[in-house]
Amino acid sequence: MPSSTPPRWPRSKTKLALAAAFAAATPVAALDLASQYQAEPHLSPLPRTDAERTRIEAVTAPAADFSAPERFEDLPAGAATVRARPDDEAFSQHSANLSFEQELEFKLGNGLFKKIWVFSPASTLASDGLGPLYNARSCQRCHLKDGRGHVPEQPDYASATMFLRVSIPGPVPPELRAVHDYIGTAPDPNYGSQLQDFSAPGIAPEYKLQVAYEDFEVALNGGETATLRRPGYTAANLGYGPLAKGAMLSPRVAPPMIGLGLLEAVPAADILAHADEEDADGDGISGRANLVWSREFNRIMLGRFGLKAGMPTVHEQSAGAFAGDIGISTPLFPAHAGECTGLQTACQSAPHGGGDSRETEIDQPNMDLVAFYSRNLGVPARRNADDPNVLRGKQLFYDSGCAACHVPKYVTHRLAGRPEQSFQLIWPYSDLLLHDMGEGLADHRPEARATGREWRTAPLWGIGLTQQVSPRATFLHDGRARTLLEAVLWHGGEAEAAKTRVVELPPEDRAALISFLESL
């Protein structure tokens, strides 16, 4: 691609002006995102001054010179950035700007994140309550070394890092009827909202996950080819009867944990500024915000976490994972039987770890420690940012249109109570919005406003260290892509044009683009 091609920036001033005009013309009944759902009760941010807004606009402006790294580009998490370790602990370091006292809090949270839970009743009262149905016995067993999970080995099934979500069509809850395009779903009456493949003694597991692949080749410019694998998923050995009519299944591999607190601290207004639901500028990119109900704050909030941006805060995401993945009750999700449905009577009547001494199997102070740990897993520093080949790949990343969704940088809120995430220039390479990724990646299972073809833009920071941290880790929501190039080639829908440009690149330019991604 010619080097004179101007860099594509996700939302230019023209785009922002068009989006603002569209929002201003949209009736409240049609969901005025900007005015209704920017509240951030989990943050209580300090207002920005005019001078700060001017500084932020300058520092987050698109790259214009690709002959050298941008200022601070080697510190993707700002002052929270950690050194890039050469081993599998690269994602397990605490943010570099924690105080001594916060380091202790982080270590306590780490202990809870790694804790192996056991069935009730047990002599280890602080660790009992597992299941009765579950996908993993600890957080760490899904998020391997705080990184990505992997698909189960076949035919010998032994994995706690991938599962199937399930739902059926259902009504829109009353509290979400203000969201005009919210898609109503309900849990499967027999199986709940996700399938668990492990269980306590005497209780049948819900299923066994089977994955099969069909290989096919994609021709690339320069005589190269790539082999992609198209997955098929089967919920085999169903333990509680058939799935309900209309059941929709979606595979999920555990994502990496780094930088979550910084993503939580990005102003909602800055995320919504990149949304362009009606594609007002006609560039083919129409990112949409997911809007979800927060149990924690009893209100509609912007979704940021999860593969379809279905959770609003780190704490709520963590509590939901305890309930669904491990079967541990929390103050937000207090059901002691976890994901067991009312029809699973043996599961409902099984012993649990709650009681007079503790109302839930993990209490709020310990949940706060887990959330603190999850917010403060450090993002490793960039590698080789000044390498000419990496810089060439960066330019191709912009020229190909990748930055239209993988927005490079933001400045976080000023936060009085969370200085470690406060007013940091960060480089996550995500707009945290929903995009139609085409039929090839569709799961046909909606989640809140997300359709069955939409996914949240995955942050790219740290992606070059993924397989150093966990050698079996693969990419995309279901781990089908074994390499970064395969992940790019699966892009479709709004990303079809960008994918096509990558396919058409000369081999040396395509390799440079991958080198840039590996440097993140």
The mean predicted confidence, pLDDT, of the chain is 91
Q: What is the mean pLDDT of residues 450-455?
A: 98
pLDDT in tens, 395-414: 999 999 999 999 999 999 99
Enumerate the β-bridge partners of residue 214: 230
Q: What is the mean pLDDT of residues 342-346?
A: 95
* Residue 184 contacts residue 198 (beta carbons within 8 Å): no
Give the pLDDT of residue 306.
97
Helix (H) / strand (E) element for 225: namely: strand 225-236
Residue 6 has pLDDT above 50, yes or no: no
Nearest Cα neighbor of 403 from 230, 508, 274, 301 is: 274
What does the block give as tokens for 170? 């259902």
pLDDT-based confidence at 354, cuts 50/70/90? confident
Q: Are 307 and 194 within 8 A, CB to CB? A: no
CA distance 193 to 213: 25
Q: Three-state SS for 213?
A: strand
Q: What pLDDT does 122 receive? A: 84
Note the pLDDT of residue 15. Answer: 41
Distance in angstroms (rounded) separating the CA atoms of residues 457 and 2: 27
Q: Which residues contact 66 (CB under 8 A, 6 or more apart)?
A: 391, 392, 394, 395, 398
Lowest mean pLDDT among 31-40, 124-133, 460-469: 31-40
Q: Which helix (H) or strand (E) holds 110?
A: helix 100-114
pLDDT for res 413: 97
- Hunting for tokens 């943010």 — which residue is that? 95
pLDDT score, position 451: 98
- Statement: residue 106 has pLDDT above 70: yes
H/E stretch holding 235: strand 225-236
What DSSP designation does 172 have? P
Confidence of residue 462 (pLDDT cuts 50, 70, 90): very high
Question: Which residue, among 514, 133, 108, 149, has the nearest Cα to 344 in the 3D structure?
Answer: 133
Mean pLDDT to the nearest integer, 208-228: 96
Q: Cα 222 vs. chain centroid, distance in angstroms?
A: 34
Weakest mean pLDDT among 122-126, 272-276, 480-484: 122-126
Per-residue pLDDT at 64: 93
CA distance 134 to 334: 16
pLDDT beyond 80 at 348: yes
pLDDT beyond 70 at 244: yes
Residue 5 in this model has a pLDDT that exceeds 50: no
